[in-house]
Amino acid sequence: MKVHFKYGKNGLNIDLSDNLNFTIIKAPEEKEIVNPVEEIKAKIYDPIGTLPLKELIQQKAKFHEISIIIVISDATRPSPSKIILKALTEIFEEIGIRDEQIKILIATGLHRESRQDELVRMVGDNFLKRFEIIDHNANDETSLAFVGYSNDRTPIYINTYYLESDFRILTGYVESHFFMGS
């Protein structure tokens, strides 16, 4: 019997012996989101437990022009950054935030910097041209600021672009780490 698994980019076909006793359990089909950008914007306009993003930004921008940093996952995480960025930038345009006020920081952790083809896949050509995009580099001490110690006295350093921004937006998804677990 041939079985197709949704795995990786293209799936995985497995040929199972007819002598095996097994049951295939399928998750319920999820409804396709027709317009993901509008769906994301709807959630941002009506968040749970906080003011809408527009109001939060407008409060900070009352007295001076603010800087915004958007943190996105690196190429090792299958996050829909391009779609999220489109939704966010449409909201920014509605409230008069200019492209020059926005930076995109790629959360590489200890991974290498992004290749050009990965940048195009993650954010698209349009956003590559519009915004300053920065790969976090944990090994570049000049791009890090010491902010204190953890409970077990491990020194904590944070990216200076992140710290120096007036408004910080982190995107991505939550999952257990492949090696470290939860």
Kindly list the catalytic residues: 111, 177
Cα 121–Cα 124–Cα 128 angle in degrees, nearest 5: 120
Name the residue with tokens 């937006």: 169
Neighbours of 128 (CB within 10 A): 14
Nearest to 99 by CA among 141, 63, 58, 128: 128
Q: State in Å, rounded, how far the first CA of the chain is from the last one.
A: 36
Give CA–CA dist 80/134, Å, rounded: 18
One-letter amino acid of 163: L
Give CA–CA dist 55/52, Å, rounded: 5
